[in-house]
Structure 1
Amino acid sequence: MSGEGEDGGAAGAPSTLYLVKQLELVVRALLDDELRPLGLTTLQYTALTVLQRRSGLSSAQLARRSFLRPQTMNVMVQTLQERGLIRRDRDPDNRRVLVLTLTEHGRELLRAAAPRVERIEARLLEGVGPAHSQEFRDALRGGVAALAAEAANRRISAMPDP
């Protein structure tokens, strides 16, 4: 990945990949700052929102969808469970597997976090401009899909299962 000031296309311009990484880092810093008063990290918030969209995942499935290693997720699951934000239950189809679900307390915390996260996204899209917001989102989806396909061709686990 080219660094700032390195040739990424136009002479002296940063590469697109460098800009994407900068965006990721600033989003992460802002999310951490906004979520800290709620006692959440960005990684915990991500895991909780994944469970909000798709309940009943195993810890390994949640790790993949949250972009974390299973070992990291195991520690996080324990923390989230101790805080009463998630619960683990036996999978009725496979009693050896524990599946995760949000508790009402977890859902309440996500509702409290929503306006904070929405402000960050609104600010990002404000920088893109209202006429280009959907185009920007579509372009990001297209880029993710193209690179996920490349990773799959290389048999690299880069994206969570759909």
Structure 2
Amino acid sequence: MTRTRNAHLQDLGITTQQADALTFFDDYPNSTISALKDAQHIRHATAQMLIQRLVKRGLIQLTVDPNDHRAKLVQLTPQGSALRQRLKHKGSHTGERLLTGFSETETRQFYEALHKAYENLTHEEDE
């Protein structure tokens, strides 16, 4: 699945991890690198490398956290926001393709099954 997703993102010049990071910081502006690490379940070094690449590409910017000068807050740049919008559009198109040929009932059942699977995983993490 990651390979297919990477192929869909290739024309945007971005990887799945980079797309997920942009999505995270769009949804949670001014979050820290540690927050990304925890949300994506990746190592801190991996998160830092990912952030460095996005900064180098001009897609995010870092500012010092006024409450903790050791921490950096991450925001999307205008270029990052524009790419995020393109990702949303591309994701909508992929979702439409995924559900092609599904009836309304099948679509509803599919989403219900995904929700149940997600709840199973979430419940497992709480134990």
Match for residue 24 of structure 2 among 20, 44, 50: 50
The answer to whether structure 1 residue 147 and structure 2 residue 114 are counterparts is no
- The one-letter code of the counterpart of 2:75 is T
1:92-143 deviation line (CA, Å, top 9, x unaligned) = 2222211111111101111222222212111112254333323322331222
The answer to whether structure 1 residue 103 and structure 2 residue 77 are counterparts is yes
Trace 1:40-79 onto structure 2 (pairs within 5 A). 40-79=14-53
Question: What is the SS of the residue equivalent to 1:136?
Answer: helix
| Whole-Å separation in 2 of the counterparts to 1:124 and 1:132 | 12
**Percent of pairs with identical residues:** 27
Q: Relative CO higher for 1 or 2, CA cutoff 8 Å, sep ≥ 6?
A: 2
Trace 1:3-152 onto structure 2 (pairs within 5 A). 25=1, 28-126=2-100, 128-152=102-126
Unaligned runs of 5+ in 2: none
- The one-letter code of the counterpart of 1:60 is S
Question: More strand by proportion, 1 or 2?
Answer: 2
For residue 35 of structure 1, report the CA deviation from its aligned partner. Answer: 1.1
- The one-letter code of the counterpart of 1:45 is A
Greater Rg by CA:
1
Unaligned runs of 5+ in 1: 1-24, 154-162
| Whole-Å separation in 2 of the counterparts to 1:105 and 1:134 | 36
Change beyond 3 A, Cα 1:128–1:151: farther
Question: What is the SS of the residue equivalent to 1:50?
Answer: helix
User: TM-score if structure 2 supplies the norm length?
Assistant: 0.88
For residue 61 of structure 1, report the CA deviation from its aligned partner. Answer: 0.9
User: TM-score if structure 1 supplies the norm length?
Assistant: 0.71
Across the aligned residues of Structure 1 and Structure 2, the Cα RMSD in angstroms comes to: 1.7
Question: More helix by proportion, 1 or 2?
Answer: 2
